[in-house]
Amino acid sequence: MIYQYKVNANKHVGIRLDKYISLNLSHLSRSKIKFLINEKKVLVNGLNKDPDYKIILNDKIKVIEEIKNETYLKGESIKLNIAYEDKDLIVIDKPAGLVMHPGAGNQSGTLVNALINHCGKSFSFVGENQRPGIVHRIDKDTSGLVVVAKNDFIHANLSDQFSKHSIKRKYITICWGVISPSKGTISSLISRSDGNRKKMKSSKIKGKEAVTHYKTLKILKDEKNNKIASVVECQLETGRTHQIRVHLSEKGHPIFGDKVYGRSPMKKLKALSEKSIEQISGLPGQALHAQFLGFYHPRKEKNMNFQSVMPVYLSNLINSIKS
């Protein structure tokens, strides 16, 4: 369906684009409207605009809503590590290896399939029907905390918090080398790689703003007492795809086990003990864990903070290397 509007009333001048669309298309949730805008299915005078664009008189707005005969996702009995749950939302401590939602090559066995089974059929209709309830993601091979909405009110509110960067997220990671300075901020624009659409890259002229604050928690040494790696805490100000992995790799400190953005430097790898090498080869993915998650609960009207215990394989890896 294609909907077209012309702003001809002064009372609509100055309101946000997403709000204007919701006034005219009441069957669309706010999350669905934002999805359409981000997918370039909404044009203002033939151009793409952000959800918070303030409309002006005589703006011509076109909304393209694709009606698909999609098969609704099925629930699957997959064990979940639930950190918190109430009638509005659920916080999951996701293991490495579990995909967030169905997509190309992953039509089942995802966190969403597990949540549909756990929460019931009504969950299938929260937000997008191919990724219901999802307001943010972590990579398949990254472990840690994610919050998922159970209704559209919570979905829209949490989505706004992520858009405003008010959600607190801290990751723990093990990377090669010693970062200088030991504490700081990495800032760049991140976009998809031209050569490999599955990879992301930094740029000074193209992409979305990405800001990572980091601090070194521990320096790890080889058998000869040479500094060889670091345990680093990364706090996200923004949440771009592969952000921490890209930022650390491009700074010259790829994450252990990250086969996309940096292989293990052989000279440093060989300098480690057999036990450490065995721990590294046994990693289920990159050594990256979403350890802390904080957000404002709109229904309870209070801040909620959650902390996850580091996976055993990461703590064993750290303990196998001298500090």
Mean pLDDT computed over 128-134: 79
Cα→Cα distances 319→216, 219, 277, 316, Å:
16, 12, 12, 5
> What is the model's pLDDT at position 72?
67
State pLDDT tens for residues 191-211: 988 888 789 998 888 889 999
> What is the model's pLDDT at position 56?
94
State pLDDT tens for residues 238-262: 999 999 999 999 999 999 999 999 8
Percent with pLDDT over 90 in the chain? 65
Cβ 69 vs Cβ 57: under 8 Å: no
Residue 139 is among the residues annotated as catalytic for this protein: yes
Element (H, E) at 173: strand 168-176
Binning pLDDT at 50, 70 and 90, where does residue 69 land?
very low
* 128 pLDDT more than 90: no
Written as one string, the DSSP assignment of 146-168 is: EEEESSHHHHHHHHHHHHTT-SE
* 227 pLDDT more than 60: yes
> Which residue of the set 59, 93, 139, 222 is catalytic?
139
State pLDDT tens for residues 9-60: 888 899 999 999 988 887 777 777 887 888 889 999 999 998 889 999 999 9
- Tell me how far apart the terminal alpha carbons of the chain are, to the nearest angstrom: 61
d(CA 288, CA 276): 17
Q: What are 105's two structure tokens? A: 């090559």
